[in-house]
Structure 1
Amino acid sequence: MQARPSYVHGAHDVPLIGQTIGSFLADIAERYGGNEALVVPHQQVRWTYTELDERVTNLAAGLLALGLRPGDRVGIWSQNCAEWVLVQFATARAGLVMVNINPAYRRSELEYVLAKVQCAALILAPSFKSSDYLAIVGDVVPELTDSQPGSLQARALPHLRHVIRLGAGQTPGMWNFDDLLTKPDEAQLADLKTIEASLQFDDPVNIQFTSGTTGSPKGATLTHHNILNNGFFVGEAMKLTDRDRLCIPVPLYHCFGMVLGNLACVTHGATMVFPGESFEPAAVLKTVQAERCTGLHGVPTMFISLLDHPDFDSVDLSTLRTGIMAGSPCPAEVMSRVIDKMHLAEITIAYGMTETSPVSFQSSTDDPVALRVSTIGRVHPHLEVKIVDTEGRIVPRGVKGELLTRGYSVMLGYWGDEDKTREAIDAAGWMHTGDLAVIDDDGYAAIVGRAKDMVIRGGENIYPREIEEFLYRHPKVLDVQCVGVPDQKYGEELCACIVLRPGMAASEDEIRAFCKGQIAHYKVPRYIRFVPGFPMTVTGKIQKYLLRAQVAEALGL
């Protein structure tokens, strides 16, 4: 008898949603109008679905009144807050394309992203943590200080016409976000209604940047159909209902917060609860107790810091039931503590990538714990997955190969990059993930490695090539290779191995200072080693796996 092939299909009796996000939200607001939609304690926000829907309409009309048109890109650069949610749904309702900008981005990354997708508007928080966003934007677009709001003409970013700031302060050249929330007049409402009626669910609605192996981040372009359905089926796997209250401490700029959090809730009439602007263990514990949350999302490092927090034993987490742990593999011991001590008996594991909206595998609430730890669950509804060898042929069950996904969740492509899109999505519509996986006879999959050298630091994907390209700009650097090394807290940390130019000397601090303020803090290498050269193959290819082993040994990891 021939071995079964590693091909799985999530045939399902619940159909896909054939609607745009804006019209779907309106339907949910009609069904669950009195339910709390969004709770943000630190902003004193507590909105019902009726109130959320109304504010979304006001903002959608306000954005169109600025002269923005369907298809225009609108960047959002902010920590987690109520305004982020309004932007997410209002851009969708107005046919605009929201561009998620990582709050950790600095000057060169911000400028790259705004230019790459030609943003017509940028919505930003004044500051976050150590970043003064207003100062960074003023640096990228110095013309702001002398321009009227809406009439910006920036040399570096000719498409950028509007900069909109959150908060009560006034900044020259910028609109104030709250001014866009005023009730629209009849003509503005009619304009919005006409536009909304013309939108199709296959229209792009969101661009999320994922660092590319070739250096520059790539803009994965996602549609209404992609993320609305993924959010819905993620919520189904968690058995979400309109009585659930989900605590969302993961970042909204990432699919984890925006799709697995916000859209999973909204598609089920459940409540989104934000415990803070970013992850803060004490605030998460306090919020889960105060808001009687039934669900909690996080990457393994977040759950670890909650379990180890000094306040842990004094808070009541007994209302918790479900949630998602994703972003990096979960240690078995952590999972059993989470189920046992945090009452998360129905927590699920999810696997995916931004390019597939993101989830393609998820465990179910009743899978045995052993399977929830050792696998990523089974294929998601309506998706196909196959595991192939280096020739692209399907391998038998139990054999390792590259994981490919096909179906409603696959992105339209990388914005403005046909070559990279064709490399990722083949002629038959399969998205090549670059992850190595195995599928067993029962359809459970396990990720066993990465075809490329991506480093996952606490749920953040770091592509060594991007950091290498940046470090090559340092005048003393002749050659550089970045590798991931094991780390207790984050799973992996980045190490930069640098060959200096002849006769040059440099210190670790000098290299770190060069990175500071230019690239996101999590991409700045934790370890820096000055080396005479790299291990090579006969044909002159660098052997990263050998380099990784050498570095880990030298660092005693």
Structure 2
Amino acid sequence: MLKRVSVSYSPKCFHYYVKCRHFSTKLSYKHNLGEEPLRHITVGTLLKETAWKFGDRKAVISKHQNKSLTFAEALVEADKLAAGFRTLGLKKNDRVGLWAPNLVEWYITKLACARSGLIMVGLNPAYQPPEMEYCINKVGIKAIVCADKFKNADFYEKLITIAPELEKSDPGKLRSNKVPSLETVITTSENKKIGVFNFGEVLDLATENSIRNIQKYQKYITADDPCNLQFTSGTTGKPKAALTSHFTMVNNSFYIGKRNELNLKHHTICLQVPFFHAFGTVISVMAALNHGSTLVLPTDGYNPDKSLDAIVEEKCTVIHGTPTMYVDLVHKQEERKENISPEIAVSGGALCAPHLFKKMLNVLNVKKVKSVYGLTETTAVVFHSLVTENEEKAVSTVGHVGEHLEVKVIDKEGNLVPCGSAGELCIRGYCNMLGYWEDEEKTKEMMGQDKWLKTGDQFVLEEDGYGKVVGRLKEMIIRGGENIFPKEIEEFLNTHPDILETYVIGLPHERLGEEVCACIRVKPGSNVTSENIVNFCKGKLSHFKIPSKIHIVDEFPKTTSGKIQKFKLKQIFD
């Protein structure tokens, strides 16, 4: 028999109890249960479903190649290439490096890896031989699919620098001391080169029987199998390789596409970002695959003139880009004044200032500007704009927490901070990576046994589930005991009529510890001086936030995905 137990509180204790209960409801923790269930399917199964639903619809249009593929054709080509991979001896979970700019062949290879159970490794086409050697050895790449040329780079020549044995090898038989795992090189070049297969040759290896075997093989690939290795952007040093599964890629991209309204109609997306980056791979390629959207590739790299051409010619309804790309696109549209009216502009890859958001609305004539925020280690996106949100939320936050995800903001001791207070953002959910490739120590540093992943971002979580990035914890400037977050100063300086973009760094100072340095890019023909900038700040920024050093630059050191490498700015101006 249960006994009723009565508990009494003194007035003081009761007041404390009520206060704690009230306070706990406003701590920085959110769990978005989601409206639709997660899907336990592979990327290969998703491709088949999309080809069945939208077979005749264009999947990708490559303007610079004068090529295009429907979703039905994409499935056929992916299965042919997958069969060719199998004929070359590639087996489940072997790593295939994809080292190319935005090409139709990149798109096919990505899907072929998924259909054959291989792990695709996205490689930056700007990588130089030492960087490529590091990446190949880091994850044990067995085969590389590479472009012919990109800008001034010859990929074949770079590979010979890494593995000179290639020039004396038969295709598929490479044996190199410097990169022992690499056996096969496949090039998109139409010219025959020693030691490598041409892309078309591998497609031609497929037979009706080997293609049927690929189709039958799908039941042996599970949603929980590894699918993708994504190197971190390298903004702070050597990149790490984050391993994600079919499950995380299919679902994260589904919800991204849903928030970006790809499910509401057939959208045509002008893709300015590179395929190899998480933005290109997941937010663009995979989201479009989920919802039957068409990707338009203006050029193999990035060119704002070509982007504007593509928006006009293909009547693009959606634009994907980083803030730096939108700065250039807005400036180009101000010059050309094209008759365009895209519906949605999606910004990600770096923080976007409210001032730039407003210019995107007004100059690019878009109806909505949407933010996405996430990390390579979270497959792609954690916070993103809701379908129904006002302009204030769109321009002042990074969006609302994604479906089926938990987020919290903690202090240095690991305690939850109140909503509206800054702390480190942590994430738990299906989107988190499986781990860094063969790097248990680094994995544990970022993701504990409780599966909470620490982002390293100084973040503010509001009660309504919206979030704001204050800055990177490692980028915080401590000047004479004052904590300064560069983002605040950057956003203010970007409102100056002659400034295109700004990045703020901390430089060593003998007395203060650190001083504030602003690196700015100005409009062509502007006569902006350091004195102008300081006067612009006076009375609007606290004295300790006003930059004591100002450098005007022609361009910023950045990754191919558009992220500014602040550590290089420090090396230049320190």
TM-score (norm: length of structure 1): 0.82
Evaluate the alpha carbon distance shift between residue 49 and residue 283 of structure 1 in structure 2; reply closer, same or farther with a 3 A threshold.
Answer: same
Q: 1:335 to 1:365 in 2, by over 3 A?
A: farther
Q: Structure 1 CA distance, aligned partners of 2:414 and 2:50? A: 43
Could you tell me whether the CA contact under 8 Å between 1:238 and 1:346 is conserved in 2? no
1:251 corresponds, among 274, 278, 281, to 274
**Is 1:316 aligned to residue 339 of structure 2?**
yes
Residues 1:134 and 1:322: Cα distance change in structure 2 (over 3 Å): same
- Residue by residue over 1:184-240, the C-alpha shift from the partner in whole angstroms, topping out at 9 and shown as x without a partner, is 324312432343210111111111111569843210001111111111111100111
Aligned amino acid, residue 455 of structure 2: T
1:59 counterpart residue number: 81
- Superposed CA deviations along residues 398-446 of structure 1, whole A, max 9, x for unmatched, are 1211100111100000001011111111111111101111111222111
Q: Which amino acid aligns with 2:272?
A: P
Q: Which residue of 1 aligns with 2:568?
A: 525
Q: Counterparts of 1:150 and 1:135 in 2: how far apart (Å)?
A: 17
Q: Provide the residue aligned with 1:505 in structure 2.
A: none
Structure 1 residue 341: deviation in Å? 2.6
The letter for the 2-side match of 1:41 is: K
CA deviation digits over 1:94-140, x for unaligned, max 9?
A: 00001011111111110000001010101111221232221111011
Q: Which residue of 2 aligns with 1:121?
A: 143
CA distance in 2, matches of 1:61, 1:190: 9
Match of 1:205 in 2: 227
Give the whole-Å Cα distance in 1 for the aligned partners of 2:365 and 2:78.
Answer: 35
Residue 101 of structure 2 aligns to which amino acid in structure 1? Q
1:389 pairs with 2:411? yes
- The within-5 A match list for 1:370-385 is 370-385=392-407
Task: Give the Cα separation in 2 of the matches to 1:529 and 1:375.
Answer: 31
Partner of 2:67: 45
Distance change (3 Å), C-alpha of 1:180 and 1:237:
same
Q: Is 1:292 matched with 2:315?
A: yes
- Cα 1:50–1:77, aligned 2, differ >3 Å: closer, same or farther? same
Determine whether 1:486 maps to 2:518: yes
Looking at structure 1, the residues matched to 212 and 62 of structure 2 have their Cα atoms a distance apart, in angstroms, of 31
When residues 287 and 408 of structure 1 are mapped into structure 2, their CA distance, relative to the original with a 3 A threshold, is same
| Cα distance in structure 1, aligned partners of 2:321 and 2:516 | 22
The match for 1:500 is none
**Partner amino acid for 2:148?**
P
Q: Once structures 1 and 2 are overlaid, which stretch shifts more, 43-52 or 285-294?
A: 43-52
Give 3-state SS (helix, strand or coil) of 2:474's partner: coil
| Aligned-partner residue type, residue 166 of structure 1 | T
Say if 1:141 and 1:156, in contact at 8 Å, map to a contact too: yes
Matching residue within 271, 281, 285 for 2:304: 281
Counterparts in 2 of 1:334 and 1:54: CA distance versus 1, 3 Å: same
Aligned residue number for residue 47 of structure 2: 25
Secondary structure (helix, strand or coil) at the match of 2:79 reads helix
Report the CA distance shift for 1:346/1:263 in structure 2 as closer, same or farther (over 3 A): same
- Distance in 2 (alpha carbons) for counterparts of 1:188 and 1:32: 25
Q: Secondary structure at the match of 2:382?
A: strand
8 Å Cα contact 2:235/2:563 also seen in 1: no
Is 2:179 the partner of 1:157?
Answer: yes
SS in 1 for 2:419: coil
Q: 1-side partners of 2:370 and 2:416: how far apart?
A: 28
Q: Which moved more, 1:359-368 or 1:147-156?
A: 359-368
- Does the 8 Å contact 1:285/1:312 carry over to 2? no
Q: Residue type matched to 1:14 in 2?
A: E
Cα offset, 1:381, TM superposition: 0.7
Q: Which residue of the partner structure matches residue 349 of structure 2? A: 327
AA aligned opposite 1:424: M
Distance of aligned partners of 1:369 and 1:488 in 2 relative to their CA distance in 1, 3 Å threshold:
farther
Aligned to 2:243, the other structure's residue is in SS state strand
Whole-Å separation in 1 of the counterparts to 2:65 and 2:446: 41
The separation in 2 between residues aligned to 1:429 and 1:226, in whole angstroms, is: 15
Tell me the distance in 2 between the aligned counterparts of 1:521 and 1:382.
Answer: 28
**1:271 aligned partner:** 294
Counterpart CA distance in 1 for 2:208 and 2:520 is: 58
Matched, 1:229 2:251: yes
Deviation of 1:39 (Å) = 0.6
From 170, 173, 176, the equivalent of 2:198 is 176
CA contact (8 A) 2:29 2:416 kept: yes
Question: Could you say which residue in structure 1 is the equivalent of 2:510?
Answer: none
Equivalences for 1:304-453 in 2 at 5 Å? Answer: 304-309=327-332, 312-318=335-341, 320-453=342-475
SS in 1 for 2:355: helix
Equivalent-residue separation in structure 1 for 2:571 and 2:198 (angstroms): 43
Alpha carbons of structure 1 residues 335 and 73: separation in structure 2 relative to 1, 3 Å: same
Residues 509-546 of structure 1: per-residue CA shift (max 9 Å, x gap): xxxxxx9xxxx99769357568xxxxxxxxxxxxxxxx
User: Which residue type is aligned with residue 260 of structure 1?
Assistant: I
Of all paired residues, the percent bearing the same amino acid is: 35
* Aligned counterpart for 1:142 among listed residues 158, 164, 175: 164
- The separation in 1 between residues aligned to 2:463 and 2:126, in whole angstroms, is 42
Are residue 6 (structure 1) and residue 28 (structure 2) matched?
yes
Deviations 1:157-199 (A, max 9, x none): 1111101111201111000011122373243124323432101
1:238/1:323 contact within 8 Å kept = no
RMSD of aligned C-alpha atoms?
2.7
The residue aligned with 1:504 is none
Structure 2: unaligned runs, 5 residues or longer: 1-18, 477-485, 495-502, 506-513, 523-556
Give structure 1 stretches of 5+ with no counterpart.
Answer: 465-481, 491-514, 531-550, 552-557
Amino acid at match of 1:283: K
CA distance in 1, matches of 2:564, 2:47: 35
In structure 1, the partner of 2:125 is 103
Please give the TM-score of this superposition, normalised by the length of structure 2.
0.79
Query: Against the structure 1 CA distance between its residues 124 and 83, is the aligned structure 2 distance closer, same or farther, given a 3 Å change threshold?
Result: same
1:260 matched residue in structure 2: 283
Distance in 2 separating the partners of 1:323 and 1:223: 28
Deviation track 1:375-415 (CA, whole Å, cap 9, x = no partner) reads 11110011110111111121221121110011110000000
User: Is the contact between residue 63 and residue 180 of structure 1 (CA under 8 Å) also seen in structure 2?
Assistant: yes
